[in-house]
Every structure is written in C-alpha cells, then in structure tokens.
Amino acid sequence: MTQTLLSRRTALIGLSALTAVPAFAQTRFEAARAYSTARRGISFLVMQRGQVLFEDYQGQGKRFKGWELASGTKSFSGVMAAALVQDGLLKLDEYCADTLTEFWSDRYRSAIRVTDLLHLVSGIDGKGGRNFGNVPTYAEAVTATSNKGTGTQFSYGPVPFQIFGELVRRKLIAAKTGDADPLAYLTRRLLDPLGIRPIRWQRGSDGMPHLPSGAAITARDWAKFGQFVLAGGVHQGKALVDPFALRANFEASKANPGYGLTWWMPRPGMIGPGPRSGVASEAVSLSGLGKLYMAAGAGNQRLYLLPDQEMVIVRQADGILEGLRRGAGDWSDQTFLSLLLGA
C-alpha cells in the first residue's frame, strides 16, 4: 500500500468517528489534526465522556499499533501508587526507608517519603548524572545519594521512578502478592481490568520494567487510561484505586506548582522537565484554558486530561530520539489545544 493510500485510509477512520459531532467541532478537530500531522504526528484521538469523537492516523501510525510513550510512561506510577494504597500496601506519606532500609543510615534519604519521591522533590538528583534516555537499574537507582532536604528542589529524571520500582518490588515480595514485578502488579490491578494491552514495555539489564519511559501502547489504550483517571479511578462502577490517593496525583508540591504526583499541571511558576522541552514556557498561556493535566514524553507525545470539558486527548509522534536531543522543536501545546478547543 502506498503512503498516499495509507493516509487516505487512516483519515477515513477519523472521519467515520465524526458522524455525530457538530460541524464546528469537526472543523476544530481537523485544524488540530493538521497542526499535529505537520509536526510528525502519527496518532491523534479525541475522547469525550468515554466516547471517541475523532481518530486519525498518519505515516507509521495505525489504530492497533503501539507507540513508545517515552516519559509519558511516568504517569502510570502515580496511579499505580493509588492502587497500592487501596490494597493496603502503601501510604503516600510513609518513609521510603521503611521498605528501602538502606536509606535509614543516610541523614537526607531517611527523611524521604513516597510523596516526595513521586513529586520529584526527594533531594535526589533525578538524572543521577545521566542523560535523560539512560535509565539506571533498580539496584543502581537506590544507591543514589542526596545532599539536601526534601521538598526544597524539583529534580526531573528517571532515578526517582526506578527507586519507586524497587520499593514496589520489595513490597510485593513482602506481601506475597504473587506479582513478579511492578509491571505485573500494574497489569493485574489496572491494565487488564481496563482492557489495556501494552505492545511492549522495556526492561533493564536487571529484567525489571522501566517505570520512567518503558511503555509502548496504542492511542486508544492511552486514552482509556486517561478516561479512567478522569473518571476518578472508577471503571464499570467499581473503584480500582484509592480515590484520595488518586486526587493526590494532582496536588502540586511547593517546589514546583506545575507538577503533581507524576503528572504535569501547567500553571504560573511551573518548572518543566528541561530548558528545551517548551512545556514550562507555555505554562501561563495553558493555564488560561482551564484545568489541564498532562502526561508528556520526548518527541511531543501527549496525553491531555481536560476535566472541565470531560475530554481526553492523545497525540503521538515520530522523532523521539530527536526530541531527546533537541527538545520540543516547533511544537506548541498551547497552539494545538487552542485549535482543538477553539479558544
């Protein structure tokens, strides 16, 4: 099949979803689609109240093809924490050292709570002296040191998520849940009940799943996850996570008002993942669009949750490696969402 025919076929998928959508909304969605496609976009999906309103695939994008989320993976950890709380395996305000006992001997690390770790304000360097794409093993991550108190500085990177992975792994062993690792727990507790099937999930040399950047899933499955979160963690009338812990996913720390428990919340004063990401520079303008929660990955992979509009938006794109090297490029979250919402 030629690229032209592929583009026509995938465009029809999106158009077929628009039959019940008002013409003015179709126009907005088409404008957002064109903007995304012109910037390496391969998947674009709009869901409202659990119904797909618009769906489009270009280039390498396909409805049943998973795509790497890069750092968009991180937000699974915050929701997994809410499941652990419901199961009585975790408290957000507990000390990490209660499980990672080697932390007790360290003045700073002994004070780190789970909420500090996932808010990325633990005092541990998020990158650990590594490039963003270089993810440590769980064992390497828990050796990371700190020389500052908790809550004083936001530090983005893979290390805290791998530390969380080791913390969860030890808890699962102690509780004898039968889950081989954190991904097995996440799959049993959330992904399987939601009908989400990751195409792949990268693992490290230790065999453990990468929690900062390992997932590759379809646009529809990422949207399902977003809808579940938007619905307060309720699926088919049943709460799958602790509601208070899920709400804590969207409570910021004092060190970074634009980052919750593994989710971005663009607003004034936000500190972004890095100087080239473009996320923080648009925080003020994005805050004017109303409540917005976001999972974001290199190459401008995006999962947007808009509670006021009861809307979930997925955008996936080619160019992850280039995104790691060069940043956001000519992508603008504010422009994209303004086109889509008619704001």
Whether residue 224 is contained in a domain is answered as no
Number of other CB atoms surrounding residue 190 within 10 Å: 21
Whether residue 171 is contained in a domain is answered as yes
Q: Which of 128, 194, 207, 205 is nearest to 161 (CA)?
A: 128
Q: Give the orientation angle of helix 23-37 with respect to helix 333-341, to 10 degrees.
A: 160
Whole-number pLDDT of residue 328 = 55
Whole-number pLDDT of residue 131 = 67
Whether residue 128 is contained in a domain is answered as yes
- 50 and 103 in a single domain? The answer is no
- 152 and 35 in a single domain? The answer is no
Q: What is the pTM of this model?
A: 0.91
Number of other CB atoms surrounding residue 177 within 10 Å: 15
- 172 and 246 in a single domain? The answer is yes
How many domains are there within the chain?
Answer: 2
State the CATH number of the domain containing residue 205.
Answer: 3.40.710.10
What is the mean pLDDT for each group of 10 consecutive residues in the chain (343 residues)?
A: 37 47 88 96 97 92 85 98 99 99 97 98 86 87 94 96 99 98 99 97 98 96 99 98 99 97 95 77 82 95 97 92 64 95 87
Whether residue 106 is contained in a domain is answered as yes
Whole-number pLDDT of residue 247 = 98
- 137 and 173 in a single domain? The answer is yes
- 164 and 311 in a single domain? The answer is no
Reduce the DSSP state of residue 317 to 3 states and report it.
strand
* Residue 248 phi, psi (nearest 5): -65, -20
- 73 and 202 in a single domain? The answer is yes
- 49 and 163 in a single domain? The answer is no
Range of the domain at 169: 69-218+231-262
- 109 and 252 in a single domain? The answer is yes
- 41 and 91 in a single domain? The answer is no
- 73 and 197 in a single domain? The answer is yes
Q: In this structure, are residues 281 and 333 in contact, taking their beta carbons and an 8 Å threshold? A: no
**Partners of 215 in beta bridges:** 201
Q: How many CA atoms lie within 13 A of 121 on its CB side?
A: 20
∠ CA 137-213-180, rounded to 5°: 55
DSSP for residue 231: T
Chain center to CA of 161: 12
Whether residue 225 is contained in a domain is answered as no
Whether residue 272 is contained in a domain is answered as yes
Whole-number pLDDT of residue 326 = 62
Three-state secondary structure of 50-67: CEEEEEEECCCCCCCCCE
Whether residue 226 is contained in a domain is answered as no
Report the distance separating Cα 165 and Cα 160, nearest Å: 9
- 257 and 276 in a single domain? The answer is no
Helices (H) and strands (E) in the chain, counts: 13, 10
- 6 and 139 in a single domain? The answer is no
